[in-house]
Structure 1
Amino acid sequence: MKKYKSSIIVGIIFIIIWEGLARYIDAAYILPSPSSILEKIWILRKELFLVHLPATLLVTFIGLTISIVLGVALAVAMNLSENIQKAIYPIVVVTQTIPITTLAPIFVLWFGYSIWSKVLATVLMTFFPITINVYDGLRSTKREMEELLMTYGASKMDIFIKLKLPSAMPYFFSALKITVSLSMIGAAISEWLGAQSGLGYFSKRMMTQLDGAAVFAPIVILSFITIILVAIISILENKIIKWRNE
Structure 2
Amino acid sequence: MKRKLQNTTNKLIPLVVILVLLIIWQGVSSFGLIPKYMLPAPSDIGKVLVGDFPLLMENAKVTILEAFIGLVLGIAAGFIMAVLMDCSQFIYNALYPLMVITQTIPTVAIAPLLVLWFGYGIAPKVILIVIVTFFPIAVSLLEGFRMADSDMIRLMKTMGASKIQIFIFVKLPGSIGQFFASLKIAISYAIVGAVISEWLGGFSGLGVYMTKVRKAYSFDKMFAVIFWVSAISLILIKCVGVLQKKCMPWEEK
Q: Per the shorter chain, which TM-score range? A: over 0.9
CA–CA distance in 2 between the matches of 1:204 and 1:180?
23
Q: How does 1:40-189 map to 2 (within 5 A)?
A: 40-50=48-58, 52-189=59-196
Unpaired runs of at least 5, structure 1:
none
CA–CA distance in 1 between the matches of 2:207 and 2:24?
27
Say yes or no: does 1:4 pair with 2:8: no
CA–CA distance in 1 between the matches of 2:25 and 2:159?
62
**What is the CA-CA distance between 1:26 and the residue it aligns to?**
5.0
CA–CA distance in 1 between the matches of 2:77 and 2:27?
46
Q: 2:42 aligns with which of 34, 42, 54?
A: 34
Cα deviation digits, residues 203-224 of structure 1 (max 9, x gap): 1111112111111111111111
Amino acid at match of 2:47: E
CA–CA distance in 2 between the matches of 1:78 and 1:235?
30
Amino acid at match of 2:117: W
CA–CA distance in 1 between the matches of 2:135 and 2:68?
16
Paired residues, number: 245
Give the ranges of 4+ consecutive aligned residues of structure 1 lying more than 3 Å apart after TM superposition: none
**What is the CA-CA distance between 1:46 and the residue it aligns to?**
2.4
State the identity %: 38
Say yes or no: does 1:200 pair with 2:207: yes
Q: 1:238 aligns with which of 233, 237, 245?
A: 245
CA–CA distance in 2 between the matches of 1:154 and 1:139?
18
Q: Secondary structure at the match of 2:104?
A: coil
Cα deviation digits, residues 55-99 of structure 1 (max 9, x gap): 111111111111011111111111112221111111111101111
Q: Secondary structure at the match of 1:96?
A: helix
Cα deviation digits, residues 196-246 of structure 1 (max 9, x gap): 211111111111121111111111111111111111111111111123336
> Please, what TM-score do these two structures have when normalized by structure 2?
0.92
> Please, what TM-score do these two structures have when normalized by structure 1?
0.94
Q: Secondary structure at the match of 1:22?
A: helix
Q: Secondary structure at the match of 1:210?
A: coil
